[in-house]
Amino acid sequence: MTDIVDTLVIGAGVVGLAIARELAQAGREVIVLEKNRGIGEETSSRNSEVIHAGLYYPPGSLKARFCVDGRERLYAYCAAKGIAHRRCGKLIVAVHEAQRPKLEAVRKSAAANGVNDLDWLTADEARALEPNVLATAALWSPSTGIVDSHAFMLALQGDLERAGGSLAVLSRCLGAERHGNALELYCMADGEGLRLKARTVINAAGLNATQVARALGDLPADAVPAPRYAKGSYFVYTGKSPFTHLVYPLPEDGGLGVHATLDLAGRARFGPDVEWLPVGTEPEDIDYDVDSRRGAAFYAAIRAYWPGLADGALSASYAGVRPKISGPGEPAADFTMRASGAGGAPRVVHLFGIESPGLTASLAIAAHVRALLDA
């Protein structure tokens, strides 16, 4: 027999869990399929845990819209649920005069995105906030913060299950075919074959989103973007944190630069850098070990805005991988959603390229997916 459910969500990262919670609370029967042993084991737990304000993204883009909306939703959710977080603020610094126009471009982009609380700081004002930082000018973003991402995901899972939804781990989608108004998925669940029919399928598989899309087979081949993966390594500072706020350089190709973030205990960590993985890399083959030799480049990048960093003060920590759909030297791709199914066909929504600010934007993305399905 083949079990039939209303909605299947593929992927139990922060975005998949947020969508599943949203749909379950709207009265849908929801099952989440996760290929790993637990929730959020990939991109969602290997990041900076920053609540982004929405500064950098092109005005009108999904990244900009969902980040600004999601930021407020996330702060409110954390406050309501007692999830550890802190609105600590961050500095974005120009370390020499030639960078002022780029800093001004960030300010204009933020204003166009509806971020109206940025302050322009002189070198003296930046030094007053962070005495160890070298800057000729800076932007102060009081709406940036940090969050316990795992506690957030556990809260989402709890809401999902209280609304009648469920999570199936060690469950991987291998293929699918249409049967009337439902899609029948062929899965491996804890080593055994399983068939599930669903009227609605959400592909929130993160690093595996393009592979899942090809397995589902509902989109034309040219509508499924080719994946690119950018590995980012982190190093921790072994002494007392030199900063009380987050400190970011100006963005670079593929990322936001090697920035200084804090954990909720006040410890400083630096990263991520950008290491493009070879074309054709499969998510299962990714090596998450941090090469300590990358530390030399970290010292150089950090000393641009913190000249006082001592030799030997950094220790290799962890790495994450961004699920990108644009490559090195190309304009950063926006979040991409592809939907299929109308007139009685099964509904399928694919989410591609959900990298940063996906954690911040997750609740807004979930609300948008629900609106798509209700339309």
pLDDT at site 254: 60
Output the pLDDT for position 255: 67
* Residue 166: strand, helix, or coil: strand
Domain covering 3-46+150-225+333-374 assigned CATH 3.40.1280.10 in the classification: no
**pLDDT higher than threshold 80 for residue 346:** yes
Domain boundaries in the chain?
A: 3-46+150-225+333-374, 89-138+227-324
Q: Domain 89-138+227-324: which topology?
A: D-Amino Acid Oxidase; Chain A, domain 2 (3.30.9)
Asked if residue 1 has pLDDT above 60, the reply is: no
Residues 48-72 have a mean pLDDT of: 97
- HSE toward the beta carbon, residue 32, CA cutoff 13 A: 32
Q: So what's the pLDDT on residue 190?
A: 81
Q: Answer whether 231's CB lies under 8 Å from 286's CB.
A: yes
Residues 150 and 129: their CA atoms lie apart, in Å, by: 30
**What's the pLDDT band for 253 if we cut at 50, 70, 90?**
low
- Enter the tokens of residue 114: 């509806």
Q: Residue 9: exposed, middle, or buried by beta-carbon count in 10 A (0-12, 13-18, 19+)?
A: buried
pLDDT attached to residue 2: 64
Closest alpha carbon to 261 in 149, 104, 137, 352: 149
- Span 61-84, mean pLDDT? 98
Query: In the Cβ-directed half-sphere of 36, how many Cα atoms lie within 13 Å?
Result: 17
Helices 149-162 and 14-25: crossing angle, nearest 10°?
A: 30
Instruction: Tell me the pLDDT tens digit for each residue of 98-153.
Output: 999 999 999 999 999 999 999 999 999 999 999 999 999 999 999 999 999 999 99
